[in-house]
Chain A
Amino acid sequence: EVQLVESGGGLVQPGGSLRLSCAASGFTVDNNYMNWVRQAPGKGLEWVSVLYSDGTTYYADSVKGRFTISRDNFKNTLYLEMNSLRPEDTAVFYCARDNDWAGYMDVWGTGTTVIVSS
């Protein structure tokens, strides 16, 4: 079964750091484009970052320079390293697979919640 399970969310103070993980099963993360998408409380979806199968990365302007997407092929896991966190980063973070290398996301995880507050 194709599945994504996020972890690593929690409460962090402004300016702090957090690393999210997304464990994949049923497929390999290095053979797909993998994304992070977030959703602030009561708000819509916001794309955060994508990691291509060739290792190329792209970021939304709102997180560029603060967030880093990466993967561990051996663990079949996607990561999002988040630094200099701000209250406006508070959201549920989803990882999502792009199976067709096209830009749309066909499999989503259940999400992990990040709260940035003092």
Chain B
Amino acid sequence: DAGVIQSPRHEVTEMGQEVTLRCKPISGHNSLFWYRQTMMRGLELLIYFNNNVPIDDSGMPEDRFSAKMPNASFSTLKIQPSEPRDSAVYFCASSLLSRGLDRGRLGEQYFGPGTRLTVT
């Protein structure tokens, strides 16, 4: 498996523009996570999907942020309009949430290479 795939790897845009980040999780995984990483705040969870359904979006900073997962192999994170304070590295990660005896136990998360977003 190629692992988690993210695109683009780098994005430079001007304030006010729309930005769309893309993620392809590992085949067979049923959970997908979007994170944001900055020097000041470290890794922050933005949103979590299970079986393509958003379960927890409490980390999404504002209404300018939205995320979708139309199928098991694709997710997007959109920022509209973008602002300079959105500059960060955005990671997508996927995992397999246990259903059996270990029900509810998150397995290890596998991270993509990240998208470095710069908003000027």
Do these two chains interact? no
